Amino acid sequence: MHAIHLKVVYLFVALTMTAWNAGTAENTPPGSAARLRVTGTGELLLDGKPFRGFGVNYFDAFSRRLHNPEDHSSREGFAALARYNIPFVRFMCGGFYASEWRYCLNNREACFAALDEVVDSAHKNGVGLIPSLFWWYPGVPDLVGEPMDQLGNPDSNTHAFIREYTEDVVRRYGNHPAIWAWEFGNEYNLASDLPNAMDHLPPVIPGKGTPGKRTARDTVTTAMVMEAMRTFADTVRRLDPYRPVTTGHALPRPSQYHQRIEGSWTIDTVEEYQRELLRAHPAPYDLVSVHIYPNRKARYFDMETCSWEKHMSILKEAARTAGKAVFIGEFGSGNLEKEEGVETARKEFESLLAAIEISGIALAALWVYDFSWQDDSCNVTPSNQRAWQLEALREVNARMKVSGTCPP
């Protein structure tokens, strides 16, 4: 991108962010309505009482309005979740591609009205929210015309936008009781420190706002991601000292430690895995995020097999030593239904659900609710062939004595 064009982009973003920030509505300090807390010993409390709950990912509850401003289907979506006593949802609270972010910058009032509708609909139906603000790691750098390595530069336009948008969202919704926690993004750790990173550069889709080509500067390291995470968490904590903060990370790769240290695929030991897990969740991140799906190819801890029960005990042990709670931000059968059939997918789902319940892990969210793009694999609605998964969540929540509602 030419330097002159970059200056135009930066000026546009700076001016628009100023306008965005000027319109935030709340004057009282955010955080006073916080309902979910993590204690210093890693216990999760809701309204001051120990809490466990299984929720869902309602990925595009907000973003569907960016594609169709007349789409109000999430209203009924939240009402249906209430009927299944689903206590909370995790959702993408921003753009995915740069083009979606730019739409919000150009249509600030409409975007906030759409987000208001999500928050208010959730609250009306007694459903808590975990908004994930910067879902896809190239989204903001692409928006401001910077390569991915600027995720690691606190003085970059990427960080300036992260600060501004985080502040706007937390100021606007920090006093809303529907907000349970704040999440940075989605699975940034999986893109980090890849030994073959040049083979896995972000896609080039100029129509979606990406640059016309990617370079070595678009590879990502853990250090870069942690700088961006720090900017996000510091901004949140300055405004909301109470609610849990989480990363949105997936399970660490089996070789995550060795990837970072020596750029190899060498399998980590249990101790290396636990250290890397906690290193990726520094204070003030108090919810340790992982995403769990069946993966017959993954070989953790150099074991031929590692049961979910064993894996979750390792996760919980690491979190407990640091005074943090575990949040399984995504779980489900993934692509098994397409790859191995309905019967195998259901068996694996039920096995994973039971393992999570037995583990004592406090929060877990099914992937994915009412997301038609994944109809052929894992989309769950009250009227499709996977509706039984919602019923399974209702049953497990009942067994854990979770009412599934969040009283106003």
Please give the Cα distance from 32 to 359 (Å, whole number): 31
* Tens digit of each residue's pLDDT (9 = 90 or more) over 264-292: 999 999 999 999 999 999 999 999 999 99
Residues 6+ apart with CB under 8 A from 203: 210
Scan for tokens 């640091």, then name that residue: 322
Please give the Cα distance from 7 to 330 (Å, whole number): 39
Please give the Cα distance from 23 to 25 (Å, whole number): 6
CA-to-CA dists, residue 344 to 140, 347, 349, angstroms: 39, 5, 9
Range of the domain at 391: 3-399
405: in domain: no
Please give the Cα distance from 253 to 13 (Å, whole number): 35
CA-to-CA dists, residue 258 to 12, 44, 194, 196, 297, angstroms: 41, 32, 10, 13, 18
404: in domain: no
Scan for tokens 């216990």, then name that residue: 43
CA-to-CA dists, residue 111 to 63, 100, 297, angstroms: 9, 10, 41
* Confidence band, pLDDT 50/70/90 cuts, at residue 28: low
406: in domain: no
**Which comes out higher in pLDDT, residue 38 or 22?**
38
* Confidence band, pLDDT 50/70/90 cuts, at residue 19: very low
The chain-wide mean pLDDT, for the chain, equals 92
Average pLDDT over residues 200-218: 98
* Bridge partners, 55 (sequence order): 365
Average pLDDT over residues 161-171: 98
pLDDT of the residue at 408:
36
pLDDT of the residue at 62:
98
* Confidence band, pLDDT 50/70/90 cuts, at residue 235: very high
* Confidence band, pLDDT 50/70/90 cuts, at residue 31: low
166: in domain: yes
pLDDT score of 178 more than 50: yes
Element (H, E) at 17: helix 3-22
pLDDT of the residue at 32:
66
* Confidence band, pLDDT 50/70/90 cuts, at residue 1: very low
Average pLDDT over residues 310-330: 97
Contact 374, 368 (CB under 8 A): yes
User: What's the DSSP call for residue 252?
Assistant: P
pLDDT of the residue at 401:
74
pLDDT score of 224 more than 80: yes
Angle, helices 98-106/3-22, rounded to nearest 10 degrees: 50
20: in domain: yes
pLDDT score of 125 more than 90: yes
Angle at the Cα of 115 from the Cα atoms of 185 and 210, rounded to 5 degrees: 50
* Percent of the chain predicted with pLDDT > 70: 90
* Tens digit of each residue's pLDDT (9 = 90 or more) over 35-62: 999 999 999 999 999 999 999 999 999 9
Q: How many distinct structural domains can be found in the chain?
A: 1
155: in domain: yes
Closest CA relative to residue 248, chosen from 290, 206, 209, 213: 290
216: in domain: yes
Element (H, E) at 119: helix 108-124
Phi, psi of 52 (to 5 degrees): -135, 140
pLDDT score of 119 more than 60: yes
* Confidence band, pLDDT 50/70/90 cuts, at residue 207: very high
Out of 32-36, 104-108, 214-218, 323-327, least confident range: 32-36
Average pLDDT over residues 290-304: 87
Helix (H, G, I), strand (E, B) or coil at 213: coil
- For β-strands 325-331 and 245-246, DSSP reports them as unpaired
Please give the Cα distance from 192 to 385 (Å, whole number): 36
Closest CA relative to residue 300, chosen from 339, 308, 175, 235: 308
Q: How many helices (H) and strands (E) does the chain have?
A: 14, 11
Average pLDDT over residues 102-124: 97
Q: Which CATH number fits the domain that encloses residue 138?
A: 3.20.20.80
Helix (H, G, I), strand (E, B) or coil at 48: coil
Looking at residue 301, its amino acid is F
Long-range contact list for 46-53, CB < 8 A, 24+ apart? Answer: 51/362, 51/402, 52/360, 52/361, 52/362, 52/363, 52/400, 52/402, 53/87, 53/88, 53/362, 53/363, 53/397, 53/400, 53/402, 53/404
370: in domain: yes
pLDDT of the residue at 29:
59
